[in-house]
Amino acid sequence: MSMVLHEHPLSPYAQKVKIALREKNVPFEVRVPNVGAGTDIDDFVPVNPRVEVPAIEDGATTVFDSTIILEYLEDRWPQPALLPKDPAGRARARMIEDVCDTYYEAINWAIAEILVFARATGPLAERLLGRAHEQTAGANAWLTRHLGEKPWFGGDAFGWADLSAAPHVHTAANFGNAPAPGSALAGWLERVRARPSVGRTFEEAMTALAGFTALPQAVASGNFKREYRDHRLEWMLRSGGDEIVRDGLAKSTIRFSREIG
């Protein structure tokens, strides 16, 4: 029986898991639970009580949270190794992952809230997009310093930090916030996109994006709720989008993590 990956192709958390599975040549099948519309929840709760993607089923074993899944894959299929051997390198890879997951992701997610889901227009949208542009530049500068002159964040080998950063830097570039031309990070992004495991994952995301045409209307009607996880809510409040949060709560067009019980 092949592994089952519960995912959404546009989720950067699911993307990094798919890249890791492909790097390790682990066969898997995908399922896309429609939790944003409030369906498939009962079937998904036994896999992940928080009702968030990604989650995996490996036989009788279920694992949720993208970081924990990466750790499980590294333990279950240690070759090829995605984490460096030395403790400092392993810690650095995990820190890069953490910043990308809890800081960079919120910036791209907020841009999508504005450009794709029309949560803000006019001066508010311009102000928030300006903040997102500045923050992306800062995140890219931080990543550039960690990359240095190396081809990959871990040195000569593609690994954990690369697959963790790739979905976020790629998405930011698609939003017009690419790394500075000629920079080390721009060269890294070009190499990342050329990697088969990454290229296939990004192609699947682009295919899924084509089906997004009706989602803004579904969100506006309350039939599809976007999840405001902790770091995303922080971004809105810190960056001046509190009225978007209030409006979403009033119209019931946003949701939070599911209570466990």
Mean pLDDT of all residues belonging to the chain: 93
DSSP secondary structure letter of residue 258: P
Query: What is the distance between the alpha carbons of residues 107 and 149, in angstroms, rounded to a whole number?
Result: 26
Per residue in 156-173, pLDDT tens?
999 999 999 999 999 999
pLDDT recorded at residue 38: 59
Range 233-252 average pLDDT: 96
Both tokens assigned to 86: 């030395």
Query: What is the distance between the alpha carbons of residues 227 and 239, in angstroms, rounded to a whole number?
Result: 18
Range 29-50 average pLDDT: 76
- Residue 6 Rama label (left phi>0; alpha psi -120 to 50; beta): beta
Gyration radius (Cα) of the chain, Å = 18
- Between helix 160-174 and helix 87-99 the angle, nearest 10°, is 30
What is the DSSP annotation of 165-181?
HHHHHHHHHHTT-PPPT
Query: Is residue 254 a contact partner of residue 225, using CB atoms and an 8 Å limit?
Result: yes
DSSP secondary structure letter of residue 157: S
pLDDT recorded at residue 39: 58
Q: Over pLDDT 70: what percentage of the chain?
A: 97
Query: Is residue 194 a contact partner of residue 162, using CB atoms and an 8 Å limit?
Result: no
254: confidence class by pLDDT, cuts 50, 70, 90: very high
Q: In the predicted model, is pLDDT for residue 183 greater than 90?
A: yes
- Chain position carrying tokens 């939003």: 175
220: confidence class by pLDDT, cuts 50, 70, 90: confident
pLDDT recorded at residue 172: 98
Domains of the chain: 3-76 (3.40.30.10), 87-211 (1.20.1050.10)
Range 2-27 average pLDDT: 96
> Within 10 A of 148 (CB to CB), how many other CB atoms are there?
9
Q: In the predicted model, is pLDDT for residue 221 greater than 90?
A: no
CB burial string 88-120: b at 16+ within 10 A, e below: ebbebbbebbebbbebbbbbbbbbbbbeebebb
Per residue in 99-119, pLDDT tens?
999 999 999 999 999 999 999
pLDDT recorded at residue 191: 98
pLDDT recorded at residue 194: 98
Residues 38, 31, 111, 154, Cα dihedral to 10° = 140
pLDDT recorded at residue 260: 87
